[in-house]
Structure 1
Amino acid sequence: MTTASTTHIVLIPSYNPGIKVFETVRAARQYWNPVWVVIDGSTDGSVDGLKAMAEEDPSLRIIHLEQNKGKGSAVLHGFEIAQAEGYTHALTMDSDGQHPPDLIPAFMAKSISQPQAMILGMPLFDASAPMIRVKGRQLSNWWANVETLWAGIGDSLFGFRIYPIAPLCEVMHKQRWMRHFDFDPEAVVRLCWHGVKPINISAPVLYFRADEGGVSHFRYLRDNILLTWMHSRLLLGFLMRLPLLVIRRLQARSSAQAERLT
């Protein structure tokens, strides 16, 4: 049994995930305690199964939202509860089995050693990854790096990552975006603007076929339009913040040089 953490949780937003969700949650619990699942209005029958698992496992918590409100809204809801209960960090991962639960301890250890940073998974793709998805995320990553003045975001879309809860809640409460599929890339960009340092750790990602239990809610036209609109907003915000970002970058460089000289 893993040692219970009083500062870091695993939080899994879940919307119609299919059968992989049970394997995902069991694996996450094998490597961490506590694990929370935020059910975002699922209608696929997974709700009852997850609640039954929680009845047998006091370290598994199920938060059930009756209506689907989007990934960002589900994460924010879970983070607000976690913050009220004294937790400071949360590792988010998808419920469909694509993310590597065995890397949870390594990500948590890095976060515990550098609590002011966000720990971002850097996906390693195998042959199962759709090429159109891989190429599409390269464009999103390029824009995210432009918008943060190349602050070090390795991958803007990979949802296997650890956020410091307080700054993310602060950022999300100040504006009405980041509530749907656009949550992951906008979160890292805005946290960079907020002064949160990104640290990248490589992590494999798996894509499952439908006959393997894979479920995808990605819609190419709808979600690419959403991402385009998101990056348009972020680019405008970047231009407004550019002088401050340059000053921060120069200050960080000066501090690093001073440390090397001492």
Structure 2
Amino acid sequence: MRHLVLIPSFNSGAQLVRTVRAARAHWPDVWAVVDGSTDGSGEALRAATAADDPGVRVLALPRNHGKGAAVLHGLREATAAGFTHALTMDADGQHPADRIPAFVAASRADPGAMVLGLPVFGPEAPAVRVRGRRVSNWWAGLETGWAGIGDSLCGFRVYPIAPLLAVMERTRWMRRFDFDPEAAVRLSWQGVRAVNLPAPVRYLSAAEGGVSHFRYVRDNALLTWMHTRLVLGAMLRLPVLLRRRRRRPSPQPGPPAAATRP
């Protein structure tokens, strides 16, 4: 198995360099997919790290396509390079780079599973965002027959690349902000087990360099349409989901041990 840290980024400013450096301190292969950024962050990353660090690679898309499209581009390149698993994390500094080894260890212990971050929020987390994700989590549970997806929206997770790539190549969805929850649901439909591990999540202030592209009305409308599609898909798969639920053992937490650097 070969694990890669994959960081999609759109106009993340100086935070992109800090995020890549933090990830690089904990893992030897870190790729950033600059998704049509216009703020110079991709160029700054190349100048700061990629030029003299063979463990960092910067992929650039000519225009903004969305988070899922950026991840898809990275997965295709990663497959060509021989990687089997990708740990995705956001470029805005919310996700804990020091948890990378533990998540990779859980993935190595169960290579066919997806290892999903279970967010632990600080007091600075916006209440509307915390409450809103509970709604998405409930729908994801319904759509998968309560298959053990602890959090549908957290972008800090490890995917086995082959099944995720196969799922994404078969649909025109999963290209924007809806990528994370739809990926978890569709992989669950394919029989990919969920392992949930806690991961602290920070909401950085503007003074700390925090950048957010979340738009309450637009993105919630996107999630509503996504869950509508997935509920319809779940109804078609209902007999299979019920059979899996009857056979499913009680979910077990992933191992806390740190991964060994290759």
TM-score (norm 2): 0.93
Match for residue 73 of structure 1 among 69, 73, 80: 69
The answer to whether 1:144 aligns with 2:140 is yes
Deviation for aligned residue 1:47: 1.5
| Counterpart mapping for 1:98-247 below 5 A | 98-247=94-243
Give the secondary structure class of the aligned counterpart of 2:146.
coil
* Cα deviation 1:125-169 (Å, max 9, x = unaligned): 011100000000000000000101110000000000000000001
Aligned-partner Cα distance in 2 for 1:164–1:125: 26
Q: Which residue of 1 aligns with 2:255?
A: none
Q: Which residue of 2 aligns with 1:60?
A: 56
Aligned-partner Cα distance in 2 for 1:98–1:178: 21
The answer to whether 1:35 aligns with 2:21 is no
Q: Which residue of 1 aligns with 2:3?
A: 8
Deviation for aligned residue 1:211: 1.6
Q: Which residue of 2 aligns with 1:95?
A: 91
Give the secondary structure class of the aligned counterpart of 2:25.
helix
Q: Which residue of 2 aligns with 1:19?
A: 14
| Unaligned ranges ≥5, structure 1 | 1-5, 254-262
Aligned-partner Cα distance in 1 for 2:175–2:99: 26
Give the secondary structure class of the aligned counterpart of 1:151.
coil
* Cα deviation 1:56-99 (Å, max 9, x = unaligned): 10110000111100000000110011112221100000001000
Change (3 A) 1:138 1:252: closer
Aligned-partner Cα distance in 2 for 1:217–1:13: 13
Aligned-partner Cα distance in 1 for 2:208–2:27: 26
Deviation for aligned residue 1:250: 2.4
Q: Which residue of 1 aligns with 2:39?
A: 44
Aligned-partner Cα distance in 2 for 1:106–1:224: 32
AA of the residue aligned to 1:33: P
In our comparison, the structure showing a higher alpha carbon Rg is 1
Deviation for aligned residue 1:252: 3.5
* Cα deviation 1:196-252 (Å, max 9, x = unaligned): 000000010000111211110000000000000000000000011000111222233
Q: Which residue of 2 aligns with 1:257?
A: none
Aligned-partner Cα distance in 2 for 1:76–1:57: 24
AA of the residue aligned to 1:217: H
Q: Which residue of 1 aligns with 2:254?
A: none
Aligned-partner Cα distance in 1 for 2:61–2:171: 22
| Unaligned ranges ≥5, structure 2 | 250-262
Aligned-partner Cα distance in 2 for 1:129–1:203: 14
Q: Which residue of 1 aligns with 2:257?
A: none
Aligned-pair identity (%): 62
Aligned-partner Cα distance in 1 for 2:185–2:172: 15
Give the secondary structure class of the aligned counterpart of 1:156.
coil
AA of the residue aligned to 1:180: R
TM-score (norm 1): 0.93
AA of the residue aligned to 1:23: R
RMSD over aligned Cα atoms:
1.1
Count of aligned pairs? 249
- Would you tell me which structure has more helix in proportion to its own residues? 1
Give the secondary structure class of the aligned counterpart of 2:111.
coil
